[in-house]
Amino acid sequence: MTKKLCIVGLGYIGLPTAVMFANHGMRVHGVDINETAVKMIQNKQLHIEEAGLQERLNSAVDSGNFTASTTPEEAEVFIIAVPSPINEDKTANLDYVRAATEAIVPYVRKGNLIILESTVPPRTVEDVMIPVLTEANLDIGTELFISHSPERVIPGKVFEELTNNDRIVGGINEESSRLTVELYRTFVKGKIHVTDATTAEMVKVIENTYRDVNIAFANELAKISEKLNVNAWEAIKLANFHPRVNIHLPGPGVGGHCIAVDPWFLAELEPDLAKMITLARQTNDGMPEHTARRVKEILENQGINHGRVAVFGLAFKGNIDDMRESPSLDVIHHLRELGLDCSAYDPHIKENKLDIQTQSIEEAVDHADIIVILTDHNEFKVMDPELFANRLRTKIVFDTKNCIQAEKWKDHDFDVLRLGDSKN
State yes or no: is 258 an active-site residue.
yes
Q: Which of 169, 172, 189 is nearest to 181 (CA)?
A: 169
Instruction: Report CA-CA distances (Å) from 287 to 58, 219, 282, 354, 368.
Output: 41, 8, 9, 21, 23
CA angle 64, 68, 70 (to 5 degrees): 155
State yes or no: is 204 an active-site residue.
yes
Alpha-carbon span 353 to 383, nearest angstrom: 24
Report phi then psi at 372, rounded to 5: -115, 115
Alpha-carbon span 286 to 53, nearest angstrom: 35
Options 258, 342, 401, 403, the catalytic residue: 258
Options 6, 204, 223, 317, the catalytic residue: 204
CA angle 317, 318, 323 (to 5 degrees): 40
Burial class (CB in 10 A: 0-12, 13-18, 19+), 411: exposed
Q: Which residues contact 227 (CB under 8 A, 6 or more apart)?
A: none
CB 414 within 8 A of CB 399: no
User: Which residues are marked as active site?
Assistant: 204, 258
